[in-house]
């Protein structure tokens, strides 16, 4: 090979190209390589030091959920034909992947009742930020009005992005567990680029999505009437809803609630937890936003023989064609995870998505009533819940979690530890997936009740000691 | 010419009918692949299903009592109604209409399509990884945190930059992180800078990211040797420039020999120097961005560190930074405590103390970290250097083979003599003399069983063909590819119509992309 190249040694190739001062004149300071089986044993030993949902009775949620992933998804995702190709730049030999994207888009459009969907973005919170960027491109407004019922990671992510493209983020507080409708309406003005809320919200509550959407336009138009005399037209705020797709068999779809753009975390659709990723982000919208969508979109067409086929379409939105004028910088997204999503939805089917939603509704309701009946535990709010519920404990949540762990139970997420908000002190967020049976919920109630009682007793004793 | 094997997806008994003179191989096509495309929404029957819902084991309460009518969906989403065997047949069937890396050569430039060891899938799927919740307490996720910390350390050593955030989800997400870090760095010093320099050879993500991060793009010219035009850089580098984004080796596959001078100019005006890590596969263990003077680097774990591409993701785009910009790093990062245990650090020390914030939920694409960490441990210090050496050797060998008589006249090397891990040919002469374009060559390669190289990029090369063979290909494969290119050019010299009409043997032939964009049909019509 060297002779064909016309060099005397491999070193010569590098010496002729990389100047000596920037050549690394030593070995990398890394361990030696290992045979496959040793790497396996090392990784297995590391994995064993993690307590997974396999090892405890887990009610952790807050953005990612331990739903069941059917075996056929593993099998399909491991197929070389899906696992190992690149983005389908050569459609003639990528019809499989392109058709999966097309089917995925169809499924997401059906779920959200919105006519256009892309083929996926990275994940939930950054999908919200990407929708914010779409709003900025759409109306060049100055502020994002967001409900405090968004996941804290989502608000943080949106703030990170918004600082880059020069937008402000205004938070609207909750009242009775849901976005305060009066504060929401008051927050809208002629500068509002997008109004963003989550359904269900971070605290598990079902929001009145239709009312929130409607009031955005009314409020913006009204505020414009007040301040904007002489301007040509009111701004056109984009209503963005972060959805959890697994609830959309029972919950009214965003497209039926006046939402313009629906985004969300897709993990609950057939993706594993993976300590937080990779999963995929949903991005669907009304027709008018099609040419401002980020990411890949597969479209139907025909070949020269008239055969039906699929291609990546509307690529003039994308970075590799439009460069600095692109509607997003996204390139690689989450095709394989979106495949798991569409296979999962197909597996659930038209009836299954409703049945599963109703089961989650029933079990979550049961869990909330059972847990809130315990001394020292109350509901955070009375709003309807579907797959997650929030409780206020009269005890330190971290200490309660430690006690439950001794019983092999992980009762949920310590919200204050996640959000850092003072009002979240004592709040426990409990996720109930279809993998958690009534017996599991009863076991949780037993462990949580005992832990809270024990902590209150300890705290009481401490209090007494201080008084004495 | 090696005919494609019979199991391959490209095969059309009709090719002779199309072009009696075509020298391309042909073999019987499995009927499945030429079946009219039917989506899963066009299959099944009412009432058919795969999912069996777990039983309702809690007391029945009317749904209306749990969820007020006005919040309820009346018409369920029209998802398919199919059985499990139908799902399996459907998706296995359409999977066979994909070409993939496990089936053959995939020399897409700047994409680093190297073999994906299956060990990585096995370890990523261990329940301790796959079913680990991201909000598990740190004390009960020590294995995962140690893995992330070790990966951070390895990436810091490979890049020569001390601090790493694993959070970004892919390369372009890492670029956004890098430019927001740059913005924060300047703001901290009380400066508002507006412009970011990118060479005209840059990946499209670079300028797109510049805009998203609220900066203005200023293009830098390329010199006659394919590197940054230093005079142009000097003319444009001023106190309003926030950053220069560079790929080195660049998208022409050339290592910029003036990198030290470039760094000096950029730092001289107080700007940061950003390294697009898409081409890191050329220099691992040989040269480090940190030593070249870069302040920020993103890695594409799905390129250099062999995460399977999945038909367009997932990826993972960690960034490494210098001390200078370390306070602005996205958080959390994984820290090691004094007792040797690990924690998520949200900026308790200097690193991340003035963080730009999060770019996504949780900690990044951990499943990708597991695979790339397994890769780094498998190869070790020698192995990683071998990767880059072999990648560069393979690229230069393939380049030499394509400089044979009959090819080089039509497809000359655009810049340089030698190359790093990839090279760019120009199809300009081919278009002029043989009347076929780079696109036609690419489409004809499909009939020969190869995935074509990247085409029409970088933009400054006329009819560009960008070839990256990677280190995991054999000499036999490289020879076969070179032979195929030569055969196509010979064929075109006799009859350009063959390439112009290609491909013939694929599940579909050339598709009407214009019609697709003009009247977008992006979802199935559901009966």
B520 touches A: beta carbon within 8 Å: yes
Q: How many domains does chain A fold into?
A: 2
ipTM confidence: 0.96
Task: Indicate the residue of B134, B210, B508 with minimum beta-carbon distance to A276.
Answer: B134
- Is A144 in the same domain as A244? yes
A317 — pLDDT class (breaks 50, 70, 90): confident
The predicted structure's pLDDT at residue B33: 63
Q: What is the pLDDT averaged over residues B28-52?
A: 83
- Is A371 in the same domain as A236? no
Question: Residues 286..305 of B with a Cβ closer than 8 Å to A: which?
Answer: 286-288, 291-292, 300, 302
In 3D space, the residue among B19, B172, B1 whose CA is nearest the CA of residue B497 turns out to be B19
Half-sphere exposure (Cβ direction) of B395: Cα atoms closer than 13 Å = 37
- Is A156 in the same domain as A264? yes
Q: Is residue A314 in a domain?
A: yes
CATH code for the domain of B305: 3.40.640.10
Phi, psi for residue B218 in degrees, rounded to 5: -125, 120
B69 — pLDDT class (breaks 50, 70, 90): very high
Res A464 pLDDT > 90: no
Cβ contacts of B311 on chain A, cutoff 8 Å: 82, 85-88, 94, 96-97, 100, 335-336, 339
CATH code for the domain of A445: 3.90.1150.10
CB contact under 8 A, A54 and B457: no
User: Could you tell me what percent of chain B has a pLDDT over 90?
Assistant: 93
In 3D space, the residue among A317, A118, A49, A125 whose CA is nearest the CA of residue B211 turns out to be A317
| Residues B449-469: tens digit of each pLDDT | 999 999 999 999 999 999 999
The predicted structure's pLDDT at residue B11: 38
Mutate one of B69, B133, B317, B460 to test the A interface: name it (highest A CB count within 10 A).
B133
Shortest distance between the Cα of B499 and any Cα of chain A, in A, equals: 14
- Is B183 in the same domain as B272? yes
CATH code for the domain of A259: 3.40.640.10
Asked whether the bond before A200 is cis by omega within 30 degrees of 0, the reply is: yes
The predicted structure's pLDDT at residue B410: 98
- Is B171 in the same domain as B296? yes
- Is B153 in the same domain as B67? no
B356 touches A: beta carbon within 8 Å: yes
Res A252 pLDDT > 70: yes
Residue B5: strand, helix, or coil: coil
Q: Is residue A166 in a domain?
A: yes
Res B16 pLDDT > 50: no
B15 — pLDDT class (breaks 50, 70, 90): very low
- Is A334 in the same domain as A387? no
Strand segments (E) across A313-463:
377-379, 388-393, 409-410, 413-414, 427-431
Q: Is residue B118 in a domain?
A: no
- CA A69 from centre of chain: 17
| Residues A130-166: tens digit of each pLDDT | 999 999 999 999 999 999 999 999 999 999 999 998 9
- Is B158 in the same domain as B273? yes
Write a three-state SS string for B44-111.
CCCCCCCCCCCCCCCCCCCHHHHCCHHHECCCCCCCCCCCHHHHHHHHHHHHCCECCCCCCCCCECCC
Sheet holding A192-199, edge to edge: A116-117, A281-285, A261-265, A238-243, A192-199, A143-147, A168-172
The predicted structure's pLDDT at residue A326: 87
In sequence order, the β-bridge partners of residue A303 are B511
DSSP string of B264-285? HHHHHTT-EEEEEETTGGGTTT
Evaluated on CA atoms A214, A215, A219, A220, the torsion sign reads negative
Question: Residues 38..77 of B with a Cβ closer than 8 Å to A: which?
Answer: 39-41, 47-51, 53-54, 56-61, 63, 66-68, 70-73, 76-77
The predicted structure's pLDDT at residue B28: 44
- Is A413 in the same domain as A329? no
Cα gap A321→B525, rounded to integer Å: 29
B10 — pLDDT class (breaks 50, 70, 90): very low
Structural domain including B218 reads 132-364
Cα gap A104→A11, rounded to integer Å: 49
The predicted structure's pLDDT at residue A325: 86
In 3D space, the residue among B403, B419, B411, B459 whose CA is nearest the CA of residue B436 turns out to be B411
The predicted structure's pLDDT at residue A467: 63
- Is A354 in the same domain as A302? no
In 3D space, the residue among A288, A298, A353 whose CA is nearest the CA of residue A87 turns out to be A298
- Is B274 in the same domain as B319? yes
Cα gap B514→A278, rounded to integer Å: 33
The predicted structure's pLDDT at residue B26: 44
Structural domain including A122 reads 72-344
Phi, psi for residue A263 in degrees, rounded to 5: -130, 170
- Is B229 in the same domain as B290? yes
The predicted structure's pLDDT at residue B21: 44
Contact B469, B478 (CB under 8 A): yes
Q: Is residue B344 in a domain?
A: yes
In 3D space, the residue among A1, A314, A279, A272 whose CA is nearest the CA of residue A122 turns out to be A279
- Is A191 in the same domain as A131? yes
- Is A298 in the same domain as A356? no
What's the CA angle centered on A37, arms A32 and A38, to 5 degrees? 40
In sequence order, the β-bridge partners of residue A430 are A389
Radius of gyration of chain A (CA): 26
- Is B158 in the same domain as B282? yes
Q: Is residue B4 in a domain?
A: no
User: Could you tell me what percent of chain A has a pLDDT over 70?
Assistant: 97
B330 touches A: beta carbon within 8 Å: yes
Mutate one of B137, B158, B360 to test the A interface: name it (highest A CB count within 10 A).
B360
Write a three-state SS string for A56-108.
CEECCCCCCCCCCCCHHHHHHHCCHHHHCCCCCCCHHHEHHHHHHHHHHHHHH
- Lookup result for tokens 């949920």: A412
What does the block give as tokens for B313?
A: 């993701």
Alpha helices in B402-494 (DSSP H): 428-434, 438-447, 475-494
A218 — pLDDT class (breaks 50, 70, 90): confident
Question: Count of A–B CB contacts within 8 Å?
Answer: 687
Q: Is residue A371 in a domain?
A: yes
The residue among A321, A344, A367 that closes a domain is A344
Q: How far is CA B252 from CA A410, B327, B458, in A?
A: 53, 34, 7
The residue among A303, A322, A344 that closes a domain is A344
- Lookup result for tokens 């120097």: B273
Look over chain A and give the mean of its residue pLDDT values, rounded to a whole number. Answer: 95
Q: Is residue A287 in a domain?
A: yes
Evaluated on CA atoms A404, A408, A409, A413, the torsion sign reads positive
CB contact under 8 A, A157 and B358: yes
- Is B206 in the same domain as B339? yes
Q: Is residue B258 in a domain?
A: yes
Contact A243, A199 (CB under 8 A): yes
Cα gap B429→B434, rounded to integer Å: 8
- Is A361 in the same domain as A290? no
Cα gap A294→A327, rounded to integer Å: 6
- Is B61 in the same domain as B204? no
Cβ contacts of A10 on chain B, cutoff 8 Å: 389, 392-393
Res A226 pLDDT > 60: no
Q: How many domains does chain B fold into?
A: 3
The residue among B95, B117, B140 that closes a domain is B95
In sequence order, the β-bridge partners of residue A117 are A284
- Is B387 in the same domain as B360? no
- Is A210 in the same domain as A276? yes
The predicted structure's pLDDT at residue A235: 66
The predicted structure's pLDDT at residue B108: 97
The predicted structure's pLDDT at residue A231: 47
CB contact under 8 A, B63 and A358: yes
Q: Is residue A118 in a domain?
A: yes
- Is B85 in the same domain as B160? no
Res B148 pLDDT > 60: yes
| Residues B284-337: tens digit of each pLDDT | 999 999 999 999 999 999 999 999 999 999 999 999 999 999 999 999 999 999
| Residues A23-61: tens digit of each pLDDT | 999 999 999 999 999 999 999 999 999 999 999 999 999
Q: Is residue B103 in a domain?
A: no
DSSP string of A172-187? E-EETTEE-HHHHHHH
A459 — pLDDT class (breaks 50, 70, 90): confident
Q: Is residue A67 in a domain?
A: no
Q: Is residue A441 in a domain?
A: yes
What does the block give as tokens for A59?
A: 């009610």
The residue among A344, A375, A391 that closes a domain is A344
Res B29 pLDDT > 80: no
Res A93 pLDDT > 60: yes
- Is A279 in the same domain as A356? no
Q: Is residue A52 in a domain?
A: no
| Residues B135-146: tens digit of each pLDDT | 999 999 999 999
B225 touches A: beta carbon within 8 Å: no
Q: Within 10 Å of residue A83's Cβ, how many Cβ atoms?
A: 22
- Is A131 in the same domain as A173? yes
CB contact under 8 A, B366 and A52: no
Residue B493: strand, helix, or coil: helix
Cβ contacts of A420 on chain B, cutoff 8 Å: none
User: Could you tell me what percent of chain B has a pLDDT over 70?
Assistant: 94
Cα gap B175→B205, rounded to integer Å: 8
Res B407 pLDDT > 90: yes
Q: Is residue B7 in a domain?
A: no
Residues 6+ apart with CB under 8 A from B140: A50, A51, A405
The residue among B329, B364, B399 that closes a domain is B364
- Is B64 in the same domain as B152? no
Q: Is residue B5 in a domain?
A: no
Q: Is residue B122 in a domain?
A: no
Res B25 pLDDT > 60: no
Res B23 pLDDT > 80: no
């Amino acid at each position: 090979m060297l002779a064909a190249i016309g060099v005397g040694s491999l070193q010569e190739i590098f010496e002729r190209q990389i100047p000596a001062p920037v050549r690394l004149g030593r070995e990398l300071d890394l361990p030696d390589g290992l045979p496959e089986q040793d790497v396996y044993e090392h990784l297995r030993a590391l994995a064993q030091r993690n307590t997974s949902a396999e090892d405890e009775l887990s009610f952790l949620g807050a953005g990612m959920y331990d739903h069941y992933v059917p075996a056929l998804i593993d099998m399909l995702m491991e197929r070389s034909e899906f696992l190992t190709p690149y983005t389908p730049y050569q459609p003639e030999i990528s019809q499989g992947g392109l058709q999966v994207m097309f089917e995925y888009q169809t499924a997401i459009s059906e779920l959200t009742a919105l006519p256009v969907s892309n083929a996926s973005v990275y994940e939930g919170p950054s999908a919200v930020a990407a929708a914010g960027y779409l709003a900025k491109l759409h109306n060049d407004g100055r502020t994002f009005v967001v409900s405090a019922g968004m996941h804290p990671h989502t608000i943080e992510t949106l703030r990170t992005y918004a600082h880059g493209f020069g937008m402000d983020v205004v938070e609207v507080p909750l009242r009775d567990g849901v976005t305060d409708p009066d504060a929401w309406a008051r927050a809208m003005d002629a500068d509002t680029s997008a109004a963003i809320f989550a359904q269900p919200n971070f605290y598990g509550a079902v929001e009145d999505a239709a009312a929130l959407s409607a009031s955005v336009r009314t409020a913006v138009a009204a505020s414009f009437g007040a301040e904007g005399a002489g301007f040509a037209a009111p701004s056109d705020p984009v209503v963005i809803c972060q959805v959890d797709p697994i609830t959309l068999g029972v919950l009214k779809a965003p497209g039926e609630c006046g939402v313009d753009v629906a985004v969300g975390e897709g993990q609950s659709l057939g993706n594993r937890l993976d300590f937080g990723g990779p999963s995929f982000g949903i991005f669907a919208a009304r027709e008018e936003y099609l040419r401002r969508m980020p990411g890949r979109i597969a479209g139907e067409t025909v070949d020269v023989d008239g055969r039906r086929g699929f291609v990546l379409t509307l690529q003039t939105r994308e970075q590799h064609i439009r460069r600095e004028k692109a509607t997003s910088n996204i390139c690689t997204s989450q095709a394989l995870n979106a495949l798991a999503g569409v296979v999962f939805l197909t597996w659930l089917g038209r009836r299954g998505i409703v049945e599963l939603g109703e089961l989650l509704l029933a079990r979550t309701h049961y869990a909330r009533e059972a847990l809130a009946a315990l001394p020292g535990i109350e509901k955070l709010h009375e709003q309807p819940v579907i797959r997650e519920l929030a409780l206020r404990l009269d005890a330190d949540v971290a200490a309660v979690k430690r006690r439950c762990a001794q019983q092999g139970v992980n009762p949920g997420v310590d919200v204050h530890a996640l959000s850092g908000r003072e009002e979240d002190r004592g709040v426990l967020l409990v996720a109930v997936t279809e993998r958690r049976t009534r017996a599991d919920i009863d076991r949780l109630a037993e462990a949580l009740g005992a832990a809270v009682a024990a902590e209150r007793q300890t705290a009481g004793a401490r209090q007494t000691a201080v008084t004495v | 010419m090696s005919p494609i094997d019979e199991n391959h997806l490209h095969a059309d008994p009709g090719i002779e009918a199309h072009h009696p003179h075509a020298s391309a191989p042909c073999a019987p096509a499995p009927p499945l692949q030429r079946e009219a495309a039917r989506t899963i929404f066009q299959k099944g029957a009412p009432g058919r299903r795969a999912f069996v819902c777990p039983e309702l084991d809690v007391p029945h309460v009317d749904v209306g009592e749990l969820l007020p009518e006005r919040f309820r969906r009346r018409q369920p989403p029209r998802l398919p109604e199919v059985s499990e065997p139908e799902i399996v047949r459907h998706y296995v069937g359409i999977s066979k209409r994909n070409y993939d890396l496990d089936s053959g050569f995939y020399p897409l430039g700047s994409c680093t399509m190297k073999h994906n060891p299956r060990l990585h899938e096995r370890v990523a799927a261990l329940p301790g990884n796959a079913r680990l919740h991201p909000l598990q307490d740190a004390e009960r996720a020590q294995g995962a945190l140690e893995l992330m910390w070790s990966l951070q350390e390895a990436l810091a050593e490979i890049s020569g930059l001390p601090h790493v955030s694993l959070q970004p989800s892919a390369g372009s997400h890492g670029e956004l992180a890098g430019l927001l870090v740059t913005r924060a760095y300047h703001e901290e010093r009380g400066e508002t800078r507006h412009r970011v320099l990118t060479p005209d050879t840059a990946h499209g993500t670079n300028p797109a990211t510049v805009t998203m991060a609220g900066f203005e793009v200023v293009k830098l010219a390329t010199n006659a040797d394919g590197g940054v035009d230093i005079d142009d850089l000097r003319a444009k580098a001023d106190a309003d420039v926030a950053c220069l984004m560079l790929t080195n080796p660049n998208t022409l596959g050339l290592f910029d020999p003036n990198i030290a001078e470039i760094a000096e100019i950029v730092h001289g005006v107080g700007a940061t120097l950003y390294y697009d890590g898409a081409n890191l596969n050329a220099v691992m263990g040989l040269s480090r961005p940190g030593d070249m003077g870069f302040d920020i680097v993103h890695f594409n774990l799905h390129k250099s560190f062999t995460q399977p591409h999945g038909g367009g993701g997932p990826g993972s785009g960690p960034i490494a930074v210098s001390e200078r910009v370390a306070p602005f790093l996205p958080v959390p990062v994984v820290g090691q405590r004094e007792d040797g245990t690990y924690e998520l650090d949200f900026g308790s020390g200097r690193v991340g103390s003035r963080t730009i914030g999060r770019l996504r939920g949780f900690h990044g694409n951990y499943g990708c970290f597991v695979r790339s960490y397994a890769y780094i441990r498998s190869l070790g210090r020698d192995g990683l250097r071998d990767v880059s050496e072999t990648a560069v050797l393979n690229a230069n060998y393939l380049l030499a083979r394509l400089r044979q008589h009959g090819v080089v006249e039509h497809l000359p090397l655009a810049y340089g003599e030698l190359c790093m891990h990839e090279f760019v040919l120009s199809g300009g002469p081919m278009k002029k003399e043989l009347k076929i374009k780079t696109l036609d060559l690419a489409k004809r390669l499909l009939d020969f069983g190869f995935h074509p190289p990247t085409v029409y990029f970088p933009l400054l090369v006329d009819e560009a063909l960008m070839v990256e063979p990677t280190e995991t290909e054999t000499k036999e494969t490289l020879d076969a590819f070179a032979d195929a290119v030569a055969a196509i050019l010979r064929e075109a010299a006799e009859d350009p119509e063959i390439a112009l009409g290609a491909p013939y043997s694929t599940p579909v032939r050339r598709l009407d992309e214009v019609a697709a964009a003009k009247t977008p049909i992006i979802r199935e019509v559901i009966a």
